[in-house]
Each structure stands twice: as C-alpha cells, then as structure tokens.
A and B are shown apart, each in its own frame.
Chain A
Amino acid sequence: MKAGLPLAGVALLAALAGFSLYLAGRHAEPLAIPAGPVDATPAAIQSARFEDGEGASRSLGQFAGKVVVVNFWATWCSPCREEMPGFVKLQSKWEGRGVQFVGLAQDDAAKVAAFGRELGVNYPLWLGGTEVMDFSRRLGNHLGVLPHTVLLDGQGRVLESRIGVYPEAALDARLASATGR
C-alpha cells in the first residue's frame, strides 16, 4: 500500500506529460515532410523549360547564382494557397540577399494570373503541362502531391525538397542558413 502512492504519483505525472505532449502536437503548425531522393542533375534542373504568364519560354537557369525556392502549387490546392502569402513576405525580405522564389503550376493560365494579382504575388508564376508534375517527381515528390517546395543553391543543386505546407518562420530560418546570412 505504501509503495502504491509513489507509483500512483509517477503515473499521474507521466499521464500529465503525455497529455501536454498531445496538446502540443495538436496545436503545432502543419509540418513540411522531407521528400524522397532526387533524380535530376543540376544541369537538367536549370535547363527544364516552362512558360511565364505571357507564354514566353523560361528556365530556372536564369536565376543561376541565387538560392532558388521552387514552389509546386495549383490554384485548386488550398494548402498551397495558405502558404503563399508567407512566400510573398519572404520574397520581399530576401530579394536583395540572393534569394528568388518561383511558382510552378500545371494549371489554367487565366486562373493562375487572377490568383497572382489577387494575392499580390511578387515572384514569377510559371506554367506547364504534365511536365510540371514530372519535374516535381524527379525532385523527390514520389507521391505526386502539392504543395512541394525545393530549395536550390546557386548551381542548381538541391539543398532541400519538402512536401506539405512550409511554415514561413521555418523557411525564413532555412534561407538564412542557405545564404549564410
């Protein structure tokens, strides 16, 4: 009986610890999840071609020398749209410090343009056909899900590839380490 009381105390403390961890988990922001292995060379990444809003051909190679944040998204994907205002803020913050965001979508050009205007997106939103999701898969997105965010260094090498919503604060910290600032 005497030994029962300390044990009950331990049980109560452990239960409280467990419950508080449960609550912490419930209220955490949705996390980005590391994507799988990358199957593309830096040269292939930099030379892949897409179209801008005016139909002109574009490639990531035009941002060589910068840390590039490639965000795969779609107008119909609500988690994508939730994280984009954070990307707009980060593009403003990191613009003069060697960082360039690019959005890539397999989507309707008019919808993308309307969404970009409405949200005041301050980075290029490029378009493509099925090659957009093929490119995303080669950059580690084996599930074919959105959003998918990839960080490239100045030579087009993949620094990080994540699926799911990338919280603004976490990406801000990641950009600081990627740029050494």
Chain B
Amino acid sequence: MPNRPLLPLRKRKVNKMAAEQKESVFKYFVRQITSLPRTPGNIATLVIFAFGALITIMRFTLGIDSVSNLDDNNPWGIWIGFDLMCGVALAAGGYTCSSACYLLGFKRYHSAVRPAITTAFLGYLFVVIALLYDVGQPWRLPYPLTVSFGTTSILFEVGLCVGIYLSVLFIEWSPVAMEWLMSIRQSEGENAVHPKVYKALVWLRPYLRRIRKIVLWMTIPLTVMGVILSTMHQSSLGSLFLIVPSKLHPLWYSAFLPVFFFVSSMAAGLSMVIFEGTLAHKALHNKMDETHLAEADGVVLGLGRACSVILAGYFMMKIMDIGMDHDWHWLFTGYGAWFCVELIGFVAVPCMLYAMGARERKTCYMRWAAALTVAGIIVNRFNVSMVAFNWQLPSVDRYFPSFLEVMLSVFIVTCIVTAYRFIAAKMPMLYELKEFKSHH
C-alpha cells in the first residue's frame, strides 16, 4: 500500500527524463538564456547587446568609417582612449591584490583576490575584443608575434605583454571556473542539467581536479609574472606617447609618462577593487560567505590606506615633473586650468579622502575616494590620448566620438558586467566552496 503513491510519480519522472533527452544541447542552452527573469537590468542589457550586434555588422560590412568619427588627424578615439587605456588601468587590481596577498603577506586580503583577478581577466579579455573593432584588419593581430617583428615599436611590447598577461590571468582565474564545474550536481525538474552536459562534466571532473592542483601550485610564479608583465605594459601605454612630443600638450607630455602610467595604474586597480566591491555588496550580498563579509571592511581600509600613499606620491611626481620641464607658465592657460582640475580634483582630493578614511576608520570615505580615483584615471587617460593630444590643431580638426562609437564602448562595458554577474551568480568567486576551502 505505501508504494502506491510513488507509481504515478515515478512515471512522470520517466516521461520528464525522456522529454529532456529529446531536447538538444543547443536548445537546452537557449532555454537557459530565454528563461532568465525579465528584470529592468536584463532588458537594458538586451537592448545594448542589440546595439552591439548592429555596430558589429556595420563595422565589418561598411568599414570603421560608418560607425566612428576617427579621421586621418585623429587615428585613435575612445576605443583606444577608453576601452584600451582605461580598461587596462582599471584591471590593475589583479596584480596589485594578488601580489599584496601572496607575496607581501597581507593574507587578510585573500577574499578580495578572486574578485580582483576575475575583473582583471574580464578587463583584459574585452580590451582585446574591443581591439578587434578598432584595428583595421583584426585577423592579422598575431602578425607582430608571428610574421614580422616590429621590435622598435612600443606597441610591440604592449601587444606582447598584454597577450602573455591575458594568458596568465586566464590561468590564475581558471580555478574559479574549474571549482564551479566540479561542484555541479544533477538535480531534478526544471533545473536539471542536460544529461549529455552532465555526462561530460562527470567525465571532466578528474582532469579538472588535477589541472586545478597544478594551477594552485603555480600561484607564486604566476603572481610574480603578473607583476613583471603589468609593470611593462602599464608603463608602456604611457610610453606610446613618448614619440609625439610635438603633438601632446607639454603639461601632459613628459619623459616620465611610463612612470606616471604605472604608478597611477596601482591606485586605479586598488580603487577599482574597492569601487566594484561596493557595488557587489549592494547587489550580491547573498553570494558572499562569512569570511568575505568579515574581511570586507578591513580590505577596504587597508587598500584605501595604500591608495592614499600612492596618490600622494603620484601628486608629488607630477608637480616635480612640471618643475623639471619648466611648464609652470602653461598652468595659466585653459589647458592649465583643466590640468589643475585633474591633478587636484581627481588626485589630491581622493588622496585626502583616503587618508581621512584611514584615520577615522570610515569605509564610506574610502568608497567615495575610490569612485573619484576611478573617474580620475578615466580623465587622465582621456586627456593623454584625446583631450591634450593634437592640442595644436584648429578645433575643426579635433576629435569628438560619434554616438555609435560611444555605444560600442557601452556594449563592451555591458559585456564585462554581464560576464561578472554570471560568474558571481554561478561560480565560487565571493565565497569558498566547502570542498575546496583553502588552508592559509
């Protein structure tokens, strides 16, 4: 008698399984995407993706001309000035956080490393994807490393380092994905994993386990490589402009551009970790484990204090540079006023805010300072690559981005945010899985 209610249930389950088996893997993934809730955020993402698709089609059928305001005098616009210059600088949290935690002994920042590495990996990945739109013949991007080596070019070094560092970041980040894939268990009903996919996952498990062990074993050398490569290409993004003393405004042109770019990237990376952590705390609080929540304030205060020191040093270096180049008189021009806005509003002010936050132990000061610093990095990179570049040209020959150009950058940022949301929702980024808990 007690078996009786089970019968129809089992029958239904069998039917369900049969239905699932009929569903193709492709349709399974389509169902996964189309069944996402229609929240305002998701709908906005969809609209921006539609723009992205449109721009992609136009770029590769009608040419760069059809979507951008780039011209012969202004070969680099926001795709370089924002997507590349800011993307790389804001992804600097990866090497700063991982080296603080693994090399400099700040073990309490451990919970900040995974989100930082994830952001860095996504940042660099989409820097490269944005470049596919900007360079004329993206299918030739491997040429500098395979066909013809232009070793006198700073861009050669940037390309080499960004290429290697993207691979390093992928390896550093891969345990997040591997732990997720290994932890997937079969469930029933709507959320059931497609049997074929599940079979593949089960087959993969032992291999992933082994690879993950190797990757964790390589943590220290990978972190050191991350610092070397980052020093080289973060600074080289500044060195790119060393070749144009006649085109870049004297207040921004300096023989120390590579130093400025490297030092400011450290502040940018740390501030981005704080800034992004603030947003994540609002939206993804439920995805954070106790360790992450317990360490969060300490991380913000510690990183913020570091930022305040870095920004103070950066401020001093910029002032000394004006002195060394005898650029004081330029400060009393329009460009000089804008330079002061950048240096005071986006360097000195956040520096003080960070210092106050450290003294009063108030994370809210730190969060505002982080937002200002992130904005400041964007202002600085825009100034060097666009605002102060070609400053001697008449205004008709100057550059202003087109609507679709801006939309492509918005699309790239949306891609990063979407990927981050996916990773935060599914993968052990803001928490540790019990079976993979690290012993440190």
Same complex: no
